């Protein structure tokens, strides 16, 4: 089936009575370069990331039981308990703020625990960063809901402890990220786009893709110069059409079915098809005035290849 994505502008936070709803957007990598492997085993990367208007949802409220209660909903399964990034983020921020269950919500007037409902709309193992986004949204949400008063800098410090991409989702919506992905340079220029997002039913483990990666120094140096020049000229539009993702070969070697699908889709002449992150999701930047034509492609993708897709746009926050 094709998935419809609302183009209605939504805020990140909504207060619903005594509950706080936080939207956690996905992202696409408009470019992703690997500069080399670090002594600590991680890879240094250079990536331009853009948030999209497709969201997981996190609902925070007072709980009925002591401790952290995590409820999982939505079409995609994720681990529960301490294996879940939302749970980890909640525990981390509460510990760092000197909180311990039962938590004091109303200046001592009521002691209770925290209940979080995660609605998982974005598939895991897709390269769309939804797990990292969930973690960042949880940090911001708990800070707001419990009035902990932690600064953005303090939240960024916690984010790095949860994962390389988490800090990006604390700000945005467009940034150039380096290091392991945790060094964030916000790009102030606005890049408005629509994209056809292809969602193969394939879960790609990021660690496995990095472990399989073989570095190409010459390719990195070539792309680094080209992309730096485009960023300097504020030509993110041209950068996005390069489809420069140095993890592509590693991902496609591990998942030949993605290579075959990519070839079939590109033969439809939609345009350049880019891999997001370590995969499996792929996207094509489309003209905003050609959405109706792209919907016809969506129907063909579903009918001929059984492939789900969604039309997304750049997120405003």
Does the annotation count 165 as an active-site position? Answer: yes
* Size of the chain, expressed as the number of residues it contains: 317
171 catalytic residue (yes or no): no
* Cα–Cα dist 28/11, whole Å: 20
Q: Give Cα 76 to chain centroid, integer Å.
A: 15
Beta strands in the chain (DSSP E): 13-16, 19-37, 43-63, 68-73, 103-104, 111-119, 174-178, 183-186, 194-199, 274-275, 282-286, 308-313
How many CA atoms lie within 13 Å of 69's alpha carbon, on the beta-carbon side? 14
Set 111, 165, 183, 269: catalytic member: 165
Catalytic residue from among 27, 88, 115, 262: 27
Q: Are 14 and 21 in contact (CB under 8 A)?
A: yes
Q: Cβ neighbours of residue 10 under 8 Å, at least 6 residues apart?
A: 23, 53, 55
Partner residues linked to 80 by β-bridges: none
By annotation, the residues acting in catalysis are 27, 165
């Amino acid at each position: 089936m094709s998935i419809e994505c609302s183009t209605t502008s939504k805020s990140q936070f909504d207060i619903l009575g005594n509950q706080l709803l936080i939207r956690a957007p996905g992202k696409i990598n408009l470019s992703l370069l690997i500069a080399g492997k670090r002594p600590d085993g991680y890879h240094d990367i250079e990536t331009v990331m853009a948030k999209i208007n497709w969201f997981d949802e996190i609902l925070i409220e007072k709980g009925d039981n002591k401790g952290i209660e995590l409820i999982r909903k939505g079409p995609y399964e994720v681990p529960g308990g301490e294996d879940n990034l939302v749970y980890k983020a909640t525990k981390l921020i509460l510990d760092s703020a000197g909180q311990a269950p039962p938590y004091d919500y109303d200046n001592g007037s009521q002691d209770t625990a925290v209940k979080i409902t995660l609605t998982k709309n974005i598939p895991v193992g897709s390269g769309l960063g939804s797990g990292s986004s969930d973690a960042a949204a949880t940090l911001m949400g708990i800070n707001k809901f419990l009035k902990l008063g932690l600064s953005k800098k303090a939240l960024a410090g916690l984010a790095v402890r949860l994962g390389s991409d988490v800090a990006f989702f604390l700000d945005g919506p467009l940034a150039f990220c380096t290091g392991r992905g945790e060094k964030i340079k916000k790009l102030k220029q606005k890049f408005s786009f629509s994209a056809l997002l292809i969602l193969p039913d394939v879960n790609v483990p990021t660690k496995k893709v990095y472990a399989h990666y073989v570095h190409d120094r010459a390719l990195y140096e070539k792309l680094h110069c080209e992309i730096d020049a485009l960023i300097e000229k504020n030509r993110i539009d041209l950068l996005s059409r390069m489809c420069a993702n140095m993890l592509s070969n590693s991902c496609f070697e591990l998942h030949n079915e993605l290579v075959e699908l990519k070839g079939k889709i590109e033969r439809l002449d939609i345009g350049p098809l880019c891999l997001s992150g370590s995969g499996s999701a792929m996207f094509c930047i489309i003209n905003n005035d050609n959405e109706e034509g792209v919907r016809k492609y969506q129907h063909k993708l579903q009918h001929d290849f059984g492939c789900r897709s969604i039309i997304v746009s750049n997120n405003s926050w």
